[in-house]
Structure formats: structure tokens, C-alpha cells
């Protein structure tokens, strides 16, 4: 029994050992086989990836909670989205995302990447597993913050992207070996890309502590406002052919007499006179910039950014989630197509960095005008600048719905004793900038689209009848039911503006509208029909007239969709650079050109390009009334002494008018030959480009003669001049963005073409067919306006008085603009622009003036339904969003990253019901 029992005891023991050994062998074999299958599977098979449907209509684009797709952030570095779905298995190399240090077991090597966050609806990058011989590398990817309704559960991370198909293909092949150095280089490149979106360096000099008191505009001493007796007595008083020839002979005789009195030894004046801003300053060596436009210093700063700086954007993202979705404005198919285009071009549409050193190469209007008058300090002056819960009030002013703060300052105007030079119509801005809102006229409607608006506008939008009653017989404007209609003529061209325009070119073919002559100044424009029809000849016209007894004439022009400003030729220079207009026109304007030593005509001489034309079709040209004859004699004497050549006096028998056409000299020969040196040649220290609150000077500036001086040559013909760097831009001069000036010009143009075509036209919720009047509130080279060349609209480029004076460049390329300080009100009627574009404007302004005033001014000049596009620092964008919400505007897009933001918003018709105090 014992023996049997003992044998029975041993057998189970042997069997157990055998079974255990067999189990171990089987387990090891299966483990090896399993590991081999896993490695083989991952080297050959790609991670699970949803197949994109071929029908885009069945693939809705995911919109973020703020109502826009990722590609709205065109200014931000390109990021990878929608990575293939990756499953983390037990024995596989994993993408580990914990914030704490990860424990690495066995012999695996952990490569810990810097912690980052994918912010503002940008998807995290999950790299595929890298197969490595020997020990496996566990790649710990940057921490990713997944937003925009995307989930991450257990060991599965789902991230969507349509931008990285090439990486996915490579992972399928199983041939990509991810090296640590390559990953580190990629991270550095990413940091470099993000650094290009950091806060722009300020290039704007601080505003002088003293600011001049501003004075109102009125264009032409009652241009078009001639007496009815003169306007109707053309019959019987017209100049005859003999009188016309006699007047030309008199002008030529005056020139001959002056030549006969010339001495052989004429004093030669400094031919170099005034030079361009870019050439009068010392040259700066360009700083090194990366391809994305950021400097090395800026890149280092970007690398040093901490997670706390990134967290700053989270609060803004939460705020933007409340914004109305853009999906109501754009269909999904368009969004898909735009997303692909935007993703491929994001690197090229990042906001360029302005060089802090470039300010040493450029002058500003603020520097030129600081000693001319006392200037108020426009800073916040200690007042609480908070915009949260701001209460808006209606302006309680006499002007009502037509209020222009700097032209309707009744208290200041009442104390002006002398009005001999129309000082009361110049700019006189309030000391405390108004922050009230202008009411809407009763029955206001959305404006009629161009070109129908050129012929008619809604009567209720500008309910003024006196101009129609006073000038109705002269084809200015008429009341026709619920419309105000414009027959297309005027006092000087009753039978149509186009006939009159062709009549001028027939008189002087070299004018060549739209080719040789591109930018025109219309003095005393009336309702601006001349400029309105010059669009048909591919010509831009800057029209201006005063806010005077011809009420709302400029407002009529802007409502029609024609460029115009309220201004006057009074005691100060016009807000334009010197030598920029190809043609200056004055039809029946009663400006006393011959008075005060010809100071007003000399101001036209300042802004007229050498070789440019002055077209004067006022009554002294073609009538022989006693007053007209006397004015003609005075004008002949003045123009001869100014060396203007009378090209022709042309009669238009259809309109019963005549036009005298003069040409400005393109050399100093005539100036030097004059025996009588009146008008005087301006002193060399008088900068002809200084125009902001600069008193008029009764002198002539020298004609530039050096080949590299602006004004020594005529620009290339339109449209070539639009994209050609001006010949006088010197490569030794640093451009605004740190490159040599000509290269800076070209890169800026390419930048804005990309931004406008890939983002602005598609992603901002703007119906561009309804946009006509556009203003770029902070233009540099005019690149934004140039990119809109083929659109049926015009852009007024504003160069800020404390910014580098690049306005001459804008005119040289066949565009137009004006100097202005946005701490003051603009010289335009309310509700006159369809779209405002502000590129890094507000962050500069809030250092000098109250931001609530700037927002009130933006609200004043923009039409209900008008749009605002803003690009600026994220913190400033957030402030503006608060203001816009308090103004009941609709925000379509609000996107920020790396301290840069972009905003698209639309003005509503909301107005407060309470008026401000009359004081």
C-alpha cells in the first residue's frame, strides 16, 4: 500500500513539472509570435484612419463654437490637423500626454518633447509609432489640449485633420525612422513659425506733448456757388474766338516780356530742393529676418514663452465661443474648398513684422507739425478707460445726424473773429474727443449698390432739399419721388460728364486718362459727378468741397459711392504730400487763386506733379464780364510768374463753356531765368511734404532734378505703376519691415494679394458685391488697396501722422490717400463707408488717446451693415470685442493665437435712446 501510494505520489509531481514546463514553452512561443505579429502589423498596416468621402457635400466641415473653420486664422502658422486615428496597445510604442514625468519601463528610451498646447481649435499632432531595431523608442509627444468638440477617451485619441496625408502615407510604408535630432529640429521650426505671430514691434514715435488745435475743412470757398446772374448770363457774354485768341496772345506776350527782361547771369538755386523722405535720412543696415518675417531676437523670445502665456488665450477662446456662428453666412462646400486653399498658404499670409529700426529712415507728419501749433495731449489723461458695461449716449448737437466733430465745433467757431481765409471752415477738433453716437435719419435704408447709386440715392438717407432747389436747373441733383437723382452733369457739363471728360482729353491728348493720368484732385467738387464718371476712364479722383451753404454736397458724393472729403482751401496746406496728383481740376470754382500773392494757387502747385496739368474751366476763361476779365488778367500774370505754360484754351460749344489747361514745368530752368523772383522759391528747410496743420506758404518749391529724387520722372503708365517699386526707392534705405525698401515694397504687395485672395474674399462673411467705399485706417505701402484693384470699389489709404510717411509711395503707384490722426475725428460725414480695415491700429492708438472715442468714431463713419476687419494684438482685439458688443455689433470672426488676433464684425442699426448732456 505504501509503495503504491508512494508511486502514486510521484507521478502527479512529474506530470505537474512536465505540464508547467510545457506551459512556459507554449507561453514563450505565443508571446514571441504575438510580439512578431504586432511588430509586423505595425510595420505594414497603417493606423485606423477614416476614409474621406469623395462627395464633399456629404462631408460637413466641422465649425468651431465661435462659428468659423480653422482656416480663418490665416495669420497664424500652419499646423497639422486631422491626424489618423491612433490606438494605443499594451505592448506598442505609445504617444503619452500626461503633464507629469512618464515612467519608462524595460529598456525603452523615452524622448520627452517640450510641453505645448494646441490652442484655439487647432488639433494636436499625434505622431505614428516609429519602428526601431533593438530597443523601442517611446515618443512622448507635446501635451495637447484638444478642443472643438473632439474627444479623447481611455487609450484612444481621436484627432481630425486633412492636412497631413503625406505623413500618413509614409507611416503606411513602415519606412520612417524618427530620429531625436529630426524631432528637435521640427520643434525649433515650429517655434520659429510661431514667433512670427508675436506682438509687432512698435515703429511709431511718441506723439509730441503739445498738439495743435484742429481746424475745419471746406474745399473751395463756395465752389460751384456762383451767382445766378453769372451762371445764366453766358449768352451774350461769351468770349468770342477773337477774344479767346487775344487772351492766349496776352499770356504768351507776358512770357516773352519776362524772357526779354532776363539777365544772362541768373542766380542758380539749389536744384536739389526737397528730397524724398527715404533719401534725406541716413541709411540703416537691414536686420536679419527669417523667412516668416521674424527676427532672430523675436524667435528667441518665442522659444522662451511659458505655458502661462499660452493659458492667457484660453479665456479669450471661452469668450469667442459665445460669438454667433459663421455657418449661417457660408455654406459647407465653400468652407471645405477654402480650408484647403487657406491651409496651403498660411505661411505666406502671416502678418509681417515692422522693423523698429526703420523709423530712423523715415520722417513723420507729427515731427513736421509739432512746432507749428500747440497740440493737446490726447492720452487717456487718468480717466477710467474701462469698456465693460459702457453706456453709450446720443450726440446732443445742432448738426444731428450729420455731425462731424472737427467741423461742427460751434463753441470754437463762434470765437473766430477773422474769416477772410475761411478759418471757420477749417478743422477745429474738440479738446475732449466726443464719445457719443450719431443718430440715424428717420427712414434710413441700406444704400443703393454701385453703379446704380451714381444716378440715384434714397432721399431719406440724406434728407436735404436746398441743394436740389438751388442747383436743380444746373443738373446737380433733383428730388424724384423717394429718390434724389443725379442727371450726370453739372454747371459746367450740363450735357453729361463723360462728354466733358472726353472734351478735356481732346484738347490735350497727352493727358491720356487712365494711362498717363491716373490720380486727379477735383477742387470744389460739388456732388462729384466729374470724379464719379472718371471711374469709367480708369481714373481715381480725390474730390473735396467745404461744409458750407451748399449743404451736404460731399455727403451726396459719398452716398453715391464717389470718393470725397470735406475740406477747404483756407489758411493751411491740404493733407496731401507734394508732387502727387497727375491732374488738378477746377470747374466753375470761385476760389480766389490770384489773391494773397497767389498762395492758394501755389498750394495746388505744391501737390501737382512736375509735368502735370491744371484744368480750369471757370467763367473767367470763357466769359467777358468785367469781373471775369479782371480775374483773367490777374491769373495770366500769376501763372506766367509761376512758369506754368498755357497749353490751350478750348471751347466746348455743346456746353457753352471753355477750359484753360496749364502745365507745370518739369525743370528749374524757368525759375532760374526769372528776373522778378516773385513768387519766391521756398527755402530749402521748408519740407514740401509737411502737410499736417502746416500754414500755407506763398512760395514755390524747387523741381527735383536728380534721377533718384521723387518727382524728377513721371511714373510708369497705369496699371504697371501699381506693382512697380518707385524708381526713387533706394535699396540702401531700410523698408518698414526691415528689408531694402524696393524689396519691402514687393513683399508687402505679394503678402496682401495672398491675404485678400485666400482669406478676406472667402472667410470673413463679407458680401463683397455690396462693398463700394473702403478705408484702410493704417495703410503702409497701400498693399491692401492694391490687392483690391480688380474689385468694383475704391480704397482711401490713411497714413497716420505718427507713422512713417509712406503716402508718397501710395500715390506713386496710382492709388490715393490722406494724412490723419485717429485721436481726432475724420473729415467725413457719418455713415459714409462700407468697410473699414484696421491693421495694428488700435494697439498703437490706445497709448495716446481713449479707445472709446476711437470706437465711437469708427461707428460714426461706418454705414449700418458696414464691416470692420481688424488685425491686432490679442489683448487689444479682446478690448474691441467688448466695445462692439456694447454697441450691439455682430461679430462674425474672432480668432487669436500667439498674441495675434483677427476680427470681422458688422455694424447694426442700433442706437441708444438717451441723449448726452448738451454741455
Query: Would the pLDDT of 634 be above 70?
Result: yes
Q: How far apart are CA 519 and CA 813, in angstroms?
A: 10
Q: What are the CA-CA distances from residue 838 to residues 99, 259, 755, 867 (Å)?
A: 40, 53, 14, 11
C-beta separation of 493 from 500 below 8 A: yes
Query: Would the pLDDT of 865 be above 60?
Result: yes
Half-sphere exposure of 721 (CA within 13 A, CB side): 23
Q: What are the CA-CA distances from residue 260 to residues 253, 256, 498, 638, 681 (Å)?
A: 10, 6, 42, 18, 21
Instruction: Say whether 869 sits in a helix, a strand or coil.
Output: strand
Q: How confident is the model at residue 738 (pLDDT cuts 50, 70, 90)?
A: very high
Query: Would the pLDDT of 888 be above 90?
Result: yes
What's residue 340's pLDDT? Answer: 42
Query: Would the pLDDT of 845 be above 70?
Result: yes
Please state whether 224 falls in left (phi above 0), alpha (psi between -120 and 50) or beta: left
Q: How far apart are CA 796 and CA 794, in angstroms?
A: 7
Q: What is the 3-state secondary structure (H, E, C) of 414-429?
A: HCCCCCCCCHHHCECC
List pLDDT tens digits, range 104-134: 344 443 333 444 443 444 433 434 443 434 4
Query: Would the pLDDT of 811 be above 60?
Result: yes
Q: What are the grid coordinates assigned to 66, written together? A: 465661435
- Higher-confidence residue of 654 and 808: namely 808
Sheet containing strand 152-153, strands side by side: 86-87, 156-157, 152-153
Q: For residue 672, give the nearest of 275, 258, 276 by alpha carbon.
A: 258
Tell me: cis bond preceding 451? Omega within 30 of 0 counts. yes
What's residue 31's pLDDT? Answer: 77
Q: How far apart are CA 552 and CA 543, in angstroms?
A: 14
Buried b / exposed e along 86-105 (16+ C-beta atoms within 10 A): beeeeebbbbbbeeeeeeee
Q: How confident is the model at residue 185 (pLDDT cuts 50, 70, 90)?
A: low
Q: How far apart are CA 886 and CA 869, in angstroms?
A: 18
Average pLDDT score over residue span 34-43: 65
Q: For the ranges 166-175, 245-254, 566-575, 768-777, which has the lowest average pLDDT?
A: 166-175
Q: What are phi and psi of 725, to 5 degrees?
A: -60, 135
Q: How far apart are CA 663 and CA 677, in angstroms?
A: 20
Q: How confident is the model at residue 201 (pLDDT cuts 50, 70, 90)?
A: very low
Instruction: Say whether 523 sits in a helix, a strand or coil.
Output: strand
| Cβ contacts of 223 within 8 Å, gap of 6 or more | 523, 524, 525, 526, 545, 546, 586, 588, 589, 590, 591
Query: Would the pLDDT of 250 be above 90?
Result: no
Q: How far apart are CA 888 and CA 766, in angstroms?
A: 18
Average pLDDT score over residue span 398-416: 94
Average pLDDT score over residue span 690-709: 94
Q: What are the CA-CA distances from residue 848 to residues 132, 142, 319, 800, 854 (Å)?
A: 60, 41, 27, 13, 11
Rg (Cα) of the chain, in Å, rounded? 35
What's residue 874's pLDDT? Answer: 95
Q: Helical H runs in 235-331?
A: 241-260, 277-280, 296-303, 307-320
What's residue 525's pLDDT? Answer: 87
What's residue 470's pLDDT? Answer: 67
Query: Would the pLDDT of 648 be above 50?
Result: yes
Please state whether 598 falls in left (phi above 0), alpha (psi between -120 and 50) or beta: left
C-beta separation of 470 from 496 below 8 A: no
Q: For residue 78, give the nearest of 354, 352, 349, 353 by alpha carbon.
A: 349
What's residue 186's pLDDT? Answer: 52
Q: For residue 110, give the nearest of 41, 40, 160, 180 by alpha carbon.
A: 180
Q: Tell me how many degrees the CA angle 93-94-95 measures, rounded to the nearest 5.
A: 135
Q: Tell me how many degrees the CA angle 639-643-649 measures, rounded to the nearest 5.
A: 50
Q: What are the grid coordinates assigned to 719, written together? A: 496699371
Query: What whole-number percentage of the chain has pLDDT above 90?
Result: 49
Q: How far apart are CA 671 and CA 692, in angstroms?
A: 27
Strands 540-545 and 519-523: parallel
Q: How confident is the model at residue 27 (pLDDT cuts 50, 70, 90)?
A: confident
Residue indicated by cell numbers 539777365? 263
- Higher-confidence residue of 8 and 767: namely 767
- Higher-confidence residue of 200 and 648: namely 648
Q: Tell me how many degrees the CA angle 509-513-515 measures, rounded to the nearest 5.
A: 100
Altogether, the residues listed in the chain come to a count of 919
Q: How confident is the model at residue 159 (pLDDT cuts 50, 70, 90)?
A: very low
Strand partners, 544: 523, 565
Residue indicated by cell numbers 462659428? 67
Q: Calculate the average pLDDT of the chain.
A: 74
Q: Which helix (H) or strand (E) segment is 509 a member of? A: none
Q: How far apart are CA 493 and CA 527, in angstroms?
A: 13
Q: How confident is the model at residue 313 (pLDDT cuts 50, 70, 90)?
A: very low
Q: For the ranges 279-293, 445-459, 464-478, which has the lowest average pLDDT?
A: 279-293
Q: How confident is the model at residue 630 (pLDDT cuts 50, 70, 90)?
A: very high
List pLDDT tens digits, range 261-307: 655 444 444 444 443 443 333 333 333 333 333 444 444 444 444 44
Average pLDDT score over residue span 571-583: 97
Q: How far apart are CA 291 and CA 196, in angstroms?
A: 9
Residue indicated by cell numbers 500626454? 97
For the chain, report the end-to-end CA distance as a whole number of angstroms: 125
Residue indicated by cell numbers 516609429? 130
Q: How confident is the model at residue 456 (pLDDT cuts 50, 70, 90)?
A: very high
What's residue 53's pLDDT? Answer: 43
Q: How far apart are CA 809 and CA 242, in angstroms?
A: 45
Q: How far apart are CA 382 and CA 364, in angstroms?
A: 27
Q: How far apart are CA 587 and CA 530, in angstroms?
A: 9
Q: Which helix (H) or strand (E) segment is 463 a member of? A: none
Tell me: cis bond preceding 719? Omega within 30 of 0 counts. yes
C-beta separation of 349 from 749 below 8 A: no
Tell me the pTM.
0.67
Q: What are phi and psi of 868, to 5 degrees?
A: -125, 125
What's residue 251's pLDDT? Answer: 74
Q: How far apart are CA 392 and CA 917, in angstroms?
A: 12
Average pLDDT score over residue span 89-117: 40
Average pLDDT score over residue span 207-212: 40
Q: What are the grid coordinates assigned to 259, written together? A: 524772357
Amino acid at each position: 500500500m505504501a509503495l503504491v501510494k508512494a508511486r502514486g505520489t510521484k507521478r502527479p509531481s512529474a506530470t505537474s513539472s512536465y505540464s508547467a514546463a510545457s506551459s512556459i514553452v507554449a507561453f514563450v512561443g505565443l508571446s514571441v509570435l504575438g510580439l512578431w505579429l504586432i511588430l509586423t502589423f505595425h510595420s505594414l498596416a497603417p493606423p485606423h484612419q477614416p476614409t474621406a468621402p469623395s462627395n464633399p457635400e456629404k462631408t460637413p466641415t466641422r465649425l468651431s463654437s465661435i462659428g468659423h473653420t480653422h482656416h480663418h486664422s490665416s495669420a497664424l502658422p500652419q499646423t497639422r490637423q486631422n491626424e489618423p486615428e491612433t490606438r494605443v496597445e499594451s505592448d506598442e510604442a505609445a504617444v503619452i500626454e500626461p503633464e507629469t514625468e512618464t515612467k519608462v519601463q524595460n529598456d525603452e528610451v523615452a524622448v520627452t518633447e517640450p510641453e505645448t498646447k494646441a490652442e484655439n481649435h487647432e488639433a494636436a499632432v499625434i505622431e505614428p509609432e516609429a519602428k526601431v531595431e533593438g530597443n523601442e523608442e517611446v515618443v512622448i509627444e507635446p501635451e495637447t489640449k484638444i478642443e472643438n468638440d473632439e474627444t479623447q477617451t481611455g487609450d484612444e485619441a481621436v484627432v481630425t485633420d486633412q492636412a497631413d496625408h503625406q505623413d500618413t502615407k509614409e507611416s503606411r510604408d513602415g519606412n520612417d525612422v524618427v530620429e531625436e535630432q529630426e524631432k528637435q529640429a521640427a520643434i525649433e521650426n515650429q517655434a520659429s513659425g510661431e514667433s512670427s505671430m508675436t506682438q509687432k514691434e512698435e515703429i511709431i514715435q511718441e506723439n509730441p506733448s503739445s498738439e495743435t488745435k484742429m481746424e475745419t475743412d471746406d474745399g473751395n470757398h463756395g465752389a460751384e456757388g456762383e451767382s445766378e446772374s453769372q451762371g445764366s448770363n453766358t449768352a451774350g457774354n461769351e468770349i468770342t474766338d477773337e477774344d479767346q485768341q487775344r487772351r492766349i496772345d496776352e499770356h504768351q506776350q507776358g512770357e516773352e516780356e519776362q524772357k526779354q527782361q532776363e539777365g544772362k547771369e541768373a542766380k542758380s538755386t539749389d536744384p536739389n530742393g526737397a528730397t524724398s523722405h527715404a533719401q534725406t535720412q541716413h541709411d540703416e543696415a537691414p536686420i536679419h529676418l527669417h523667412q516668416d518675417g521674424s527676427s532672430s531676437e523675436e524667435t528667441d523670445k518665442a522659444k522662451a514663452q511659458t505655458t502661462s502665456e499660452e493659458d492667457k488665450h484660453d479665456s479669450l477662446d471661452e469668450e469667442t465661443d459665445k460669438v454667433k456662428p459663421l455657418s449661417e453666412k457660408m455654406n459647407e462646400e465653400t468652407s471645405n474648398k477654402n480650408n484647403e486653399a487657406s491651409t496651403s498658404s498660411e505661411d505666406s499670409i502671416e502678418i509681417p513684422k515692422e522693423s523698429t529700426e526703420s523709423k530712423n529712415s523715415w520722417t513723420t507728419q507729427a515731427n513736421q507739425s509739432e512746432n507749428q501749433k500747440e497740440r493737446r495731449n490726447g492720452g487717456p489723461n487718468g480717466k477710467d478707460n474701462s469698456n465693460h458695461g459702457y453706456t453709450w449716449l446720443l450726440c446732443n448737437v445742432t448738426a444731428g445726424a450729420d455731425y462731424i466733430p472737427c467741423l461742427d465745433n460751434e463753441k470754437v467757431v463762434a470765437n473766430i473773429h477773422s474769416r477772410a481765409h475761411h478759418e471757420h471752415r477749417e478743422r477745429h477738433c474738440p479738446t475732449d474727443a466726443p464719445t457719443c453716437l450719431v443718430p440715424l435719419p428717420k427712414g434710413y435704408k441700406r444704400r443703393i449698390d454701385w453703379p446704380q447709386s451714381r444716378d440715384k440715392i434714397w432721399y431719406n438717407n440724406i434728407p436735404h432739399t436746398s441743394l436740389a432747389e438751388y442747383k436743380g436747373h444746373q443738373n446737380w441733383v433733383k428730388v424724384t419721388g423717394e429718390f434724389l437723382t443725379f442727371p450726370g452733369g453739372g454747371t459746367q457739363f450740363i450735357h453729361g460728364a463723360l462728354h466733358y471728360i472726353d472734351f478735356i482729353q481732346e484738347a490735350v491728348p497727352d493727358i491720356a486718362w487712365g494711362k498717363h493720368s491716373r490720380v486727379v484732385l477735383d477742387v470744389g467738387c460739388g456732388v462729384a459727378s466729374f470724379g464719379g464718371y472718371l471711374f469709367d476712364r480708369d481714373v481715381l479722383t480725390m474730390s473735396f468741397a467745404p461744409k458750407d451753404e451748399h449743404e451736404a454736397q460731399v455727403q451726396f458724393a459719398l452716398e453715391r459711392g464717389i470718393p470725397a472729403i470735406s475740406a477747404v482751401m483756407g489758411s493751411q496746406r491740404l493733407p496731401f504730400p507734394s508732387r502727387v496728383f497727375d491732374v488738378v481740376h477746377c470747374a466753375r470754382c470761385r476760389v480766389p487763386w490770384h489773391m494773397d500773392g497767389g498762395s492758394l494757387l501755389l498750394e495746388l502747385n505744391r501737390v501737382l506733379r512736375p509735368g502735370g496739368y491744371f484744368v480750369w474751366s471757370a467763367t473767367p476763361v470763357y466769359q467777358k464780364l468785367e469781373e471775369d476779365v479782371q480775374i483773367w488778367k490777374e491769373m495770366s500774370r500769376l501763372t506766367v510768374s509761376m512758369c506754368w505754360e498755357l497749353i490751350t484754351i478750348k471751347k466746348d460749344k455743346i456746353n457753352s463753356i471753355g477750359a484753360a489747361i496749364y502745365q507745370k514745368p518739369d525743370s528749374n530752368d524757368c525759375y532760374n531765368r526769372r528776373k522778378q523772383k516773385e513768387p519766391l522759391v521756398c527755402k530749402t528747410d521748408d519740407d514740401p511734404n509737411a502737410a499736417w496743420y502746416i500754414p500755407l506758404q506763398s512760395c514755390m518749391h524747387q523741381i527735383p532734378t536728380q534721377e533718384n529724387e521723387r518727382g524728377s520722372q513721371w511714373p510708369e503708365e497705369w496699371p504697371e505703376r501699381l506693382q512697380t517699386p518707385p524708381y526713387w526707392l533706394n535699396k540702401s534705405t531700410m523698408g518698414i519691415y526691415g528689408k531694402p525698401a524696393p524689396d519691402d515694397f514687393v513683399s508687402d504687395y505679394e503678402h496682401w494679394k495672398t491675404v485678400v485672395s485666400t482669406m478676406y474674399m472667402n472667410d470673413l462673411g463679407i458680401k463683397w458685391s455690396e462693398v463700394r467705399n473702403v478705408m484702410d485706417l493704417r495703410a503702409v505701402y497701400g498693399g491692401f488697396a492694391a490687392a483690391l484693384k480688380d474689385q468694383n470699389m475704391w480704397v482711401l489709404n490713411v497714413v497716420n501722422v505718427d507713422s512713417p510717411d509712406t503716402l508718397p509711395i501710395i500715390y506713386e503707384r496710382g492709388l490715393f490717400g490722406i494724412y490723419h490722426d485717429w485721436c481726432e475725428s475724420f473729415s467725413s460725414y457719418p455713415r459714409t463707408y462700407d468697410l473699414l480695415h484696421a491693421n495694428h491700429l488700435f494697439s498703437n492708438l490706445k497709448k495716446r488717446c481713449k479707445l472709446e472715442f476711437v470706437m465711437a468714431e469708427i461707428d460714426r463713419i461706418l454705414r449700418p451693415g458696414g464691416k470692420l476687419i481688424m488685425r491686432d494684438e490679442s489683448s487689444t482685439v479682446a478690448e474691441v470685442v467688448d466695445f462692439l458688443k456694447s454697441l450691439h455689433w455682430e461679430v462674425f470672426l474672432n480668432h487669436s493665437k500667439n498674441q495675434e488676433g483677427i476680427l470681422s464684425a458688422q455694424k447694426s442699426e442700433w442706437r441708444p435712446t438717451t441723449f448726452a448732456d448738451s454741455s
